[in-house]
A = this chain, B = another copy of it.
Amino acid sequence: MNKGFVAINYITCEADYASRFEDLFRTRARAIDRMPGFRFMSVLKPQKEGEPYLVVSHWDSEDHFKAWTNSPEFLEGHKRGFEDVRRAKESGQKPPMVSVFKTYEVITD
């Protein structure tokens, strides 16, 4: 039985980017909320310094998630963050955040 699908983005921020990072999510576009099969998401701040933030999104299925990553809503939702990374790159600076992406099957609630 399909209990759902979860994608987690593990994002490590430079220390001086953390407050900007949190602001981006607190004022997020909510473009993802319009996607078919989207259930909910949580943005988690680690209590221990130096650990990554977790952006956890819950979906009805992997296909729904994949459709989102190929949608205009994906670009809209990541616009400001992608722009920050692009700007750092262009000026030869270290990227302000680095993310690692992992996917999961929900086995139970």
- The chain A residues found within 8 Å of chain B, CB to CB, are 6, 8, 22, 25-26, 28, 40-48, 51, 54, 56, 58, 102-109
Contacts and interface: CB of A to CB of B under 8 A. Distances in A.
B42 A109 contact: yes
Copies in the complex: 2
Contacts of A104: 44-47, 54
Given A6-B42, A25-B107, A51-B102, 9 more contacts: A26-B107, A26-B108, A41-B109, A43-B106, A43-B107, A43-B109, A44-B106, A44-B107, A47-B105
A71 B108 CA distance: 23
Given A48-B102, A51-B102, A102-B48, A108 B28 contact: yes
